[in-house]
Structure 1
Amino acid sequence: MARRSQIWLLGLYFLLELPLILAIRSSQSLALLRARDQCGRELTAGQRLLLDRMQFEDAPHVRHYLHCFWSRLQLWQDDSGFQAQRIVQSFGGERRLNVEQALPAINGCNAKTRFRGSGSGMGSVVDWCFRAFVCVLATPVGEWYKRHMSDVINGNA
């Protein structure tokens, strides 16, 4: 009888704690999903599927989607690029990312890809965001991002 009570109490504990655990994880995940949905409104089902599979081809719809996504999250600024420190904080800080690796990777990609050519205006900013994002994807930070977004999309984060 005591064992049954212990199991019941343990089950009750997890039942009561589960909403708290989900609430901690869900605010950031919900923000990512909300930005994803808002920025993907005009995408076709096929385009959305490729983006969900982390396939970012060099195409206008991908460039505009990425700029919209990161801007909505307030992790991209048109005058300075990706906000490396805010990205690290938004994605769990030192608990989840190697900060010594992430900050230089993101900042380096911002600098390396900033406005090529003589173009100016929104198109250049959108292109810069795309190039910087693709650059970050080629780093360990990009691998972490792909795994994390897959977890968010699949309801595991």
Structure 2
Amino acid sequence: MLLLVGVAPPKVTAIRSSQSLALLRARDQCSRALTPAQRLQLDKMQYEDAPHVRLYLHCFWARLQLWQDASGFQAERIIQSFGGERRLNVEQALPAINGCNAKTRSRESGSGSGSVSESQAVVDWCFRAFTCVMATPVGDWYKRHMSDVINGNA
């Protein structure tokens, strides 16, 4: 009779890139205030227009230093961070990201000069710019890439 007590199978850990680890860290840090259902929704890349989604997206992109409140998404840094020309069509990505920054910024709605309304306007702009990018081929690539990261394949 063979007795196996306290013997655990060896752990197989996927080798993740530093970029993938940064994405996972930002995702975890920015989702701390979310309910499990909200977190699952975001993991499925369902970005409804809701306050928790807007705050999460701003936190996520700002934490990665790929969003600046004064200028929006940092298109060139995003492309470099996500593998550059090896993984992304730069001629398509740059104008898509920069175009969404510009198009959604002009719709900024600030009513007053309080820091709360300015802060909210930036969070709203980030959400609008993100959903704009998601409607482009860059959004399709992002969904595939994030799915790979979340599932341990990147």
TM-score with structure 2 setting the length:
0.85
For residue 64 of structure 1, the aligned residue among 36, 50, 55 is: 55
Could you tell me which residue of structure 2 aligns to residue 139 of structure 1?
136
Could you tell me which residue of structure 1 aligns to residue 109 of structure 2?
117
Aligned length: 136
In the alignment, is the contact (CA less than 8 A) between 2:57 and 2:127 conserved in 1? Answer: yes
Could you tell me which residue of structure 2 aligns to residue 153 of structure 1?
150
1:59-110 CA distances to partner (integer Å, 9 max, x unpaired)?
0000000000000000000000000000000000000000000000000000
Could you tell me which residue of structure 2 aligns to residue 11 of structure 1?
none
Q: Distance in 2 between matches of 1:96 and 1:59?
A: 31
For residue 48 of structure 1, the aligned residue among 31, 39, 49 is: 39
Could you tell me which residue of structure 1 aligns to residue 20 of structure 2?
29
Could you tell me which residue of structure 2 aligns to residue 94 of structure 1?
85
Q: Distance in 2 between matches of 1:37 and 1:118?
A: 30
1:116 Cα shift? 2.3
Q: Distance in 1 between matches of 2:45 and 2:60?
A: 14
Runs in 1 of length 4+ with deviation above 4 angstroms?
none
1:138 Cα shift? 0.1
Higher fraction of helix: 1
Could you tell me which residue of structure 2 aligns to residue 10 of structure 1?
none
Q: Which runs of 5+ in 1 are unaligned?
A: 1-18
1:26 Cα shift? 1.9
Q: Which runs of 5+ in 2 are unaligned?
A: 1-12, 112-116
TM-score with structure 1 setting the length:
0.83
Quick one: percent identity of the two aligned structures?
Answer: 80
Q: Distance in 1 between matches of 2:70 and 2:110?
A: 16
